[in-house]
């Protein structure tokens, strides 16, 4: 058997014992990263080329440092993004919301849709929309200067600086120049209840920026704010998508009542069939 594959098997056991959620996947990802190959090419690494740096990376992962911080990269839809300390690592669940947003924009009778992404993080949402809806103009907002630097780097590196603008601002008050003009507003806001601080994984509590996590006792404080922001920014008929926790779906629709000008409120599910994001439209005039 290939020596590297033997080491990956050993690393998988070590990561499993450490409580890592996907030990085999992470062991293979680290091996591929260290040896400069794809996961499916690990068998091609000669025994003599094994790099002991692999076990340093495994030790870091066993200590529950995020995989993406060790490799410095995160994959999101068709993107490879740079990530590290100070920025929220994009999750696969968010890809489903972005897929809905892209489909909604493509179906709109708008030549050059104006999109606002609140909470830029790594830039994953904004860059994906710009890349997959080529005529869109995307403005993304981030209050955390450290995270904003990651977003701006990724926007430039992915070649979309001409259509994605990153703003250093509070999402609650940002972009007044677009009031009533935005075609689609999207956000993966903080939504973790402060009461959950003792039970969230160490990869989250120890590494993701606090501003990207916590949102009051029930986790809904920022989503309540986004209801106000949506009424301000969206044009009549404009669409809003907001990610939330998988146990918050029952509470979200009530935050977008018809009497405040919202319609077509729906909770959407992720690939595990859990409530993951809400979509809603501004009523037409």
For residue 108, give the 3-state DSSP assignment. Answer: coil
For tokens 């003009």, the residue is 181
For residue 119, give the 3-state DSSP assignment. Answer: coil
Residue 95 is labelled as binding a ligand:
no
Give the pLDDT confidence score for residue 229 in this predicted structure.
98
Residue 225 is labelled as binding a ligand:
no
Q: What is the pTM of this model?
A: 0.94
Give the pLDDT confidence score for residue 70 in this predicted structure.
97
For tokens 């404080």, the residue is 221
Rounded CA separation 185/171 (Å):
11
Residue 205 is labelled as binding a ligand:
no
Rounded CA separation 23/184 (Å):
38
Give the pLDDT confidence score for residue 276 in this predicted structure.
95
Q: Please state, as a whole number, how many other Cβ atoms lie within 10 Å of the Cβ of residue 52.
A: 8
Residue 119 is labelled as binding a ligand:
yes
Residue 122 is labelled as binding a ligand:
yes
Rounded CA separation 110/181 (Å):
12
Rounded CA separation 19/82 (Å):
25
| Rounded average pLDDT per 10-residue block, the chain, 285 residues | 89 97 97 95 91 97 97 96 96 96 96 97 98 97 97 97 97 97 98 89 93 94 97 98 93 95 94 93 89
Please report, for residues 27, 180, 226, 239, 266, the alpha-carbon distance to residue 231 in angstroms, rounded to integers and kept in the order given.
46, 8, 8, 11, 17
Give the pLDDT confidence score for residue 195 in this predicted structure.
85
Beta strand extents in 109-148 (DSSP E only): 114-118, 137-142
Rounded CA separation 183/125 (Å):
16
Rounded CA separation 134/138 (Å):
10
Listed in sequence order, the DSSP H helices in 158-241 are: 202-205, 221-233
Residue 7 is labelled as binding a ligand:
no
Residue 219 is labelled as binding a ligand:
no
Domain positions in the chain? 3-63, 85-282
Give the pLDDT confidence score for residue 241 in this predicted structure.
98
Give the pLDDT confidence score for residue 1 in this predicted structure.
61
Give the pLDDT confidence score for residue 198 in this predicted structure.
82
Residue 92 is labelled as binding a ligand:
no
Rounded CA separation 16/21 (Å):
7
Give the pLDDT confidence score for residue 199 in this predicted structure.
87
Class of domain 85-282: alpha beta
Rounded CA separation 244/104 (Å):
19
CB 188 within 8 A of CB 49: no
């Amino acid at each position: 058997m290939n020596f590297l594959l033997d080491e990956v098997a050993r690393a998988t056991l070590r990561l499993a014992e450490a409580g890592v959620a996907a030990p085999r996947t992470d062991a293979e990802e680290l091996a591929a990263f260290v040896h400069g190959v794809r996961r499916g090419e690990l068998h091609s690494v000669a025994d003599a080329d094994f790099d002991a740096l692999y076990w340093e990376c495994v030790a870091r992962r066993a200590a529950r440092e995020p995989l993406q911080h060790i490799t410095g990269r995160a994959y999101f839809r068709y993107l490879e993004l740079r990530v590290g300390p100070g920025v929220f690592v994009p999750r696969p669940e968010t890809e489903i919301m972005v897929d809905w947003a892209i489909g909604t924009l493509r179906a709109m009778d708008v030549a050059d849709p104006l999109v606002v992404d609140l909470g830029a993080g790594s830039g994953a949402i904004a860059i994906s929309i710009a890349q997959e809806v080529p005529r869109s103009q995307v403005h993304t907002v981030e209050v955390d200067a450290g995270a904003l630097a990651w977003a701006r780097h990724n926007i430039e590196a992915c070649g979309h600086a001409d259509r994605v603008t990153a703003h250093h601002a509070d999402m609650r008050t940002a972009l007044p120049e677009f009031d009533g003009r935005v075609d689609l507003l999207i956000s993966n806001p903080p939504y973790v209840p402060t009461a959950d601080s003792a039970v969230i994984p160490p990869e989250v509590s120890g590494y993701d920026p606090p501003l990207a996590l916590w949102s009051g006792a029930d986790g809904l404080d920022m989503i309540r704010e986004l209801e106000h922001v949506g009424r301000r920014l969206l044009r009549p008929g404009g669409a809003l998508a907001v990610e939330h926790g998988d146990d918050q779906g029952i509470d979200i629709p009530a935050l977008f009542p018809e009497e405040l000008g919202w319609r077509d409120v729906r909770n959407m599910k992720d690939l595990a069939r859990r409530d993951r994001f809400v979509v809603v439209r501004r009523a037409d005039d």
